[in-house]
Amino acid sequence: MALIDVRHLTVDLPSEDGTVHAVQDVSFAVEPGEFFGIVGESGSGKSVLVQALLGLIPGARVTGEAWFDGRDLLALNDRDLRSLRGSAVSMVFQDPLSSLHPQYTIGAQITELIHTHRSVSREQARTMAVDMLGKVGIPDPTSRFGFYPHQFSGGMRQRVMIAMALVLEPKLIIADEPTTALDSTVQTQILELLRNMRDEFGVTILMITHDLGVLSRVADRVMVMYAGRRLEMGPRAALFAAPVHPYTSGLLRSSPANYTPGADLVPISGRPPSLLEVTTGCVFTPRCPQAHEQCAETPPVRRYSDGAEAACWLDVSGKAASVLTDTAAQAVVNSHPAAEPAGDPVEPIIRATGIEMVYRNRRRSSARVLDGIDLTLNRGETLGLVGESGCGKTTLARILAGLIEPTGGTITLAGRSTRGLGRAEWKAVRRDIQLVFQDPFGSLNPRRRVGSIIGDPYRIHGTVSRHERRSRVQGLMELVGLNPEHYNRFPAQFSGGQRQRIGISRALALNPAVIILDEPVSALDVSIQAQILNLLSSLQHEFSLSYLFISHDLSVVRHMCDRIAVMENGRIIENAPTEQIYRAPREEFTQKLLAASTFNTAPVTEIARTLVPVVAGGPGLVRENVA
């Protein structure tokens, strides 16, 4: 019998703009001991779904059934539900720093949970907590018991969260993006820990993520959600190797982690629908490359012999389905030949030698953030800069852009040293180097219209007359795929991907030679990421731009870059052409980074599938539990 059996779950959230239909008619069952993954982009309803199960969303209207251990969670009263939370079902959240109370020690937070559900003495609770901290790999748990969350690193904090989730030996752990806020090597450790805990305690894990790569490594079965619906569900091998639903294959194709050298990313065009209206038929139709008239009607759930299920009119039984070869051909491929350096390859556009950055504080101690960085960026090339958080990559980017002055070393820009430049000279130099930032929400002033944001460089540098500015800005908007008629809108009226396009067009305004891209797609959904990455490479070809591409995500970097520089603790430890790094990484750290970023799916080319007859039931649910 399934440990948790969710049937026809629908969650409506009242909001100022109307009712948000966050989850619509979703059914799934998780077997005891299973590692079940739910994947979806932002707004797919995956987090709302699990939080609604535990009654954690105030004001939500939840209908359907959710059978857990013989009881319907949705029918329980507050008190009974509360007694399950933390003891029978526990949760691990995305950001372990903000998810732990900053003013209580981790020990106090864990024992608080124990005392809430069990009547044990203080000493017993303490012993339980210390034991569990040790089991999840916290060194010296007895003394760490009295530490505050800020005294741990990100990975250790997540271990604390996991210890708290496990301490009462629950039957089910719901992990909501447990690795998203962590560095990739730490991600791997946390995933391993979760899987080991599953094996050791027999706990069932329900993990939510936007990252297919993460699930490809750990999940037994995966459910794909989109716009509040369940589009596909199936065993990991089948789903990653031969997805049934066009959305799943679209996601896989647009993920740079699924890289085959020479191939281009195939983004899913368009963007997710508004959840304020209930669409009839398949929600994915407007973005689906295989849509036809039938898709206006509610699709059936087809079930195949290998366990795959999809709500789609396509019948893939008997077909040899493969993500990358078969269906890719049908999509519009935004293709460019591999980057060929434009201009004079002999003279690098940026040459940095011996860059050092040392921060001193008043008490003698100093922090060496950058330690002798040598770096060249050739014309027309994309150089990837990878490393974990805190390794100094953003500091380096700011130094190269002239935003902060290094404490040592020299930088030459197009053969000209930047040392001792005056204000006016720097201003001229800055035209050649532009920045695109990570956070498309924080990097645009919300009170200013998009047209004037993009036009800022013209105003600051006085290069274009007032009258001409508008047409130039609209030209830029068109270039990056924005509607020029949206000139007078505010940033809030654009989606994340569109905002990043705004940032890119602002960077392009002055025809720079170099654009420094600081994590330009990290805040975006996979399908949108691919759109932006493709835009960046087509712009590079059109304007012979040089890119310095900073990222923590090696798969993105591999897709974009000609060369990769790996940073660790303020040094560049390895700097080589991309494929060389991938085939023969020299440094141990690079190998670790690589291992943490690959997709763990063997491409299956031949799958013989047969359709399994479905017992009559409502759409969206296979009634296997009906006797």
Partner 1 sequence: MKLSRYLLSRIGFGLVVLFALSLFVFLLFYLAPGDPARAIAGDKANNELLEQVRQNLGLNRPIGEQYLSFIGNLLQGNLGFSFRNQLPVTGIILDRLPVTLSLVVGGVVLWLAIGVPIGIASARRPGTVRDRAGQTFALLGISFPTFVLGMMSLYLLYFLPTRAGFPIFPPSGYVPLTEDPLQWAWHLILPWTTLALVTAAIYARLTRGQMLEVLGEDYIRTARAKGLTERRVIYKHAFRSAMPPLVTQLGNDVGFLLGGAIVIEQVYGLPGIGNLAVTSVQAQDRPTIIGVVLVGGIFIVAVNLIVDLCYVLLDSRIRTAS
Q: Binding segment for partner 1 among 82-90, 250-258, 320-328, 462-470 (CB under 8 A)? A: 82-90
Q: Does 112 bind partner 1 (CB under 8 A)?
A: yes
Q: Does 103 bind partner 1 (CB under 8 A)?
A: yes
Residue from 20, 53, 84, 219 in contact with partner 1 (CB under 8 A): 84
For residue 245, give both structure tokens. 């639903």
Which residue, 149 or 380, is less far from partner 1 as judged by CB? 149
Yes or no: say if 6 and 24 are a contact pair by the CB < 8 Å rule: no
Q: Does 99 bind partner 1 (CB under 8 A)?
A: yes
CB 143: neighbour CB atoms within 10 A?
A: 9
Residue from 116, 142, 389, 410 in contact with partner 1 (CB under 8 A): 116
Query: For tokens 């063997």, what's the residue?
Result: 602
**Spatial distance between the Cα atoms of 597 and 582, rounded to a whole number of angstroms:** 11
What does each C-alpha distance from 536 to 66, 181, 370, 385, 517 come to in angstroms? 45, 25, 28, 16, 10
What does each C-alpha distance from 431 to 41, 239, 452 come to in angstroms? 36, 47, 18
Q: Does 362 bind partner 1 (CB under 8 A)?
A: no
Q: Whose CA is closest to 457, among 427, 413, 414?
A: 427
| Residue window 304-343: x/- pattern of binding to partner 1, with contact defined by CB under 8 A | ----------------------------------------
Tell the smallest beta-carbon distance from residue 530 to partner 1 (Å).
Answer: 29
Q: Name residues whose C-beta falls within 8 Å of residue 229's C-beta, 6 or more positions apart in sequence.
A: 24, 25, 26, 45, 283, 311, 620
| Residue window 136-175: x/- pattern of binding to partner 1, with contact defined by CB under 8 A | -----------xx-xx---------x--x-----------
Q: Binding segment for partner 1 among 80-88, 246-254, 273-281, 374-382 (CB under 8 A)? A: 80-88
Q: Binding segment for partner 1 among 92-100, 119-127, 289-297, 556-564 (CB under 8 A)? A: 92-100
Tell the smallest beta-carbon distance from residue 85 to partner 1 (Å).
Answer: 4
* Residue 3 phi, psi dihedral angles, 5° rounding: -75, -45
Which residues 24-63 are close enough to bind partner 1 by CB under 8 A? 51, 54, 56
Tell the smallest beta-carbon distance from residue 441 to partner 1 (Å).
Answer: 17
Tell the smallest beta-carbon distance from residue 177 to partner 1 (Å).
Answer: 11
Which residue, 117 or 472, is less far from partner 1 as judged by CB? 117
Q: Containing H/E element for 206? A: strand 204-209
How many residues of this chain bind partner 1 (CB under 8 A)? Answer: 32
For residue 451, give both structure tokens. 């047209």
Residue from 63, 83, 330, 483 in contact with partner 1 (CB under 8 A): 83
Extended strands (E) in 31-183 = 35-39, 61-68, 71-72, 89-92, 172-176
Tell the smallest beta-carbon distance from residue 528 to partner 1 (Å).
Answer: 24
Residue from 23, 26, 39, 100 in contact with partner 1 (CB under 8 A): 100
**Spatial distance between the Cα atoms of 554 and 550, rounded to a whole number of angstroms:** 10
Which residue, 16 or 123, is less far from partner 1 as judged by CB? 16
Tell the smallest beta-carbon distance from residue 364 to partner 1 (Å).
Answer: 14
**Beta bridge pairs of residue 551:** 386
Which residue, 57 or 377, is less far from partner 1 as judged by CB? 57
Q: Does 439 bind partner 1 (CB under 8 A)?
A: no
Yes or no: say if 370 and 570 are a contact pair by the CB < 8 Å rule: yes
**Spatial distance between the Cα atoms of 346 and 380, rounded to a whole number of angstroms:** 12
**Spatial distance between the Cα atoms of 548 and 496, rounded to a whole number of angstroms:** 22
For residue 441, give both structure tokens. 């929400």
Tell the smallest beta-carbon distance from residue 586 to partner 1 (Å).
Answer: 38
Determine the angle formed by the axes of helices 246-254 and 526-543, rounding to 10 degrees.
Answer: 50
Residue from 86, 228, 384, 620 in contact with partner 1 (CB under 8 A): 86
**Spatial distance between the Cα atoms of 386 and 344, rounded to a whole number of angstroms:** 26
**Interface residues toward partner 1, by CB under 8 A:** 51, 54, 56, 82-87, 90-91, 93-95, 98-105, 112-113, 116-117, 147-148, 150-151, 161, 164
